[in-house]
Structure 1
Amino acid sequence: MTDIDINTVRRFSRTVSQRIGVLDADYLGSGRPLAEARLLYEIGEAGSTIRDLRSRLGFDAGYASRLLRALEADGLIRLQPDQTDARVRRATLTKKGLTQWALLNERSDKLAHSLLAPLGESQRARLLAAMAEVERFLRACALTIEIADPAAPEARACIEGYFSELQQRFEGGFDPEQTVSAHPEELIPPAGYFFIARLDGETVGCAGLKIKGKTGEIKRMWVSPSARGLGVAQRMLEAVEAQAKDAGVGRLRLDTNRTLTEARSLYLRNGYKEIAAYNDNPYADFWFEKRL
């Protein structure tokens, strides 16, 4: 990245923050700063647990607690134990809070209208398309990939999502018992590794790495439909390759089905070469290898 790149990002941030009122202590005439107004919006009509609010907004415990106390002191929210888990606190809007929430929504719509109204039709279309593109890439910036326990609930949920999709996409369905194994014990160091991708606090993908000697095999690579188009698979593949190198793996292998055209494209553009079959996976139509 160049100094010009950095300055472009900084200038964009200054322009956006000024135009949407981030600098105003009285955001949208609500009498409160943006952080409190946003927290009120996220609680919404259905309410939310404090844990989920912190995860979605990236607030640390202390900051979230201060904001919530301010809203509670103004009579806008009610804090109480969650009905499904008394150890977790839940925030709900009071009648006054619902009124404020509706007012903020109305004023937010008017602010959006004021940003678009001065532009011609083609300029509006270009701005909206650019906004969608910027949002997509900013979301991608928030992606994290970590090594996780393959037996943990979030890991199992990912793998079940993966199996469910294969069941729908494969012509004859999919039976996990008939394919090459990737059991939890095979994805724990030093036998292997399991990776979880998270975005805005939500688990959006997984990948497994099995290791045997100097050869590694990629298994269970999957991205949730909600996060596709953000480069999640590419980032996971890079994480798997980096970990494989650290573990002393000299080559990576994998197999894939002909219906998974996106996966084949991913591997080919990352230097994987098609090879002869190295296993008897009944669902495999292509086999790939890459020297690290």
Structure 2
Amino acid sequence: MVNKPRILVTRKWPEGVEALIAQRYDATFNDSDVALTSAQLAAAMRDFDAICPTITDRLDASILGVAGRRVQIIANYGAGVDHIDLTAARAAGIVATNTPGVLTDATADIAITLMLMTTRRAGEGERELRAGQWTGWRPTHLLGTSLRGKTLGLVGFGRIAQAMAERARFGFGMDIAYFSRRPGAQADEQRLGARFVPSLVDLVAQSDVVSLHIPGGAETRNIIDAAIFAHMAPHAILINTARGDVVDEGALIDALEAGRIGGAGLDVFAGEPHVSQRLRDAPNTVLLPHLGSATRETREAMGMRALANLDDWREGRTPRDSL
């Protein structure tokens, strides 16, 4: 290509990554950092050679198949791509890529953070203190639970789940069990002391902490529903750093309000950024604004991985993270 390809970056990325993109491409950046509308995304499909979207950009069949499309590659900023209709992208001849691997440690760290805060009721304690309602130390105040010897049940056994398992087993002395569509590699099971449970119901029934590490989308939507909460122990907690739509939030709120489970630590939500008032008011919850990959190092690495995929495409190679 003689001319630099036209690139649209739909949200603000780390400054250093944007500078490199500007050097290599005819780049347009969204300086307002406000999510683009469907109409703006459809127009961009006609005006640019490549789009670099994020989870806030829903690229469905109507946008990907727009008449007069120019876009050849969608270089997603993030590992999850349930906001992109991959079938429609393939049908339109558009290459789609993501950024796997680079956000593993940061997301596992936030899952551990949520587990600690929820089991030790730290969110409740901070809210009490900030509201000026703390009356001082007393022996039975906000009693939580310790983690040593407890069972961490992982739903999914990919990179992030295994990174969390490593921290939980060797850092806190937890037992590790997991459910997935198929057993993981024996070497990984042995390394982490993890055992495969072939039934999701059986996994949650024997877990003190249930942590979700599965992709979003139609196949997993509301996989954690009222029936699953009914099989969890009353003291058990749910951790979600995956996607908001894998949990039936109404059923979760009902379970929290009725005391059927012990608590929940959530970094993702079905309708984010909207979070229902009932969930915000629910007892023993820790709610974070989608901070899973929010470290400087990780967000820069995500941008560099997306840029590497763009460079592969521009230079005629199959992008390394093609989906």
* TM-score of the pair, normalised by structure 2: 0.27
Q: Higher relative contact order by CA 8 Å / sep ≥ 6: 1 or 2? A: 2
Q: TM-score, normalised by structure 1?
A: 0.29
Higher helix share: 1
Larger fraction in strand: 1
Q: Which is greater in Rg? A: 1
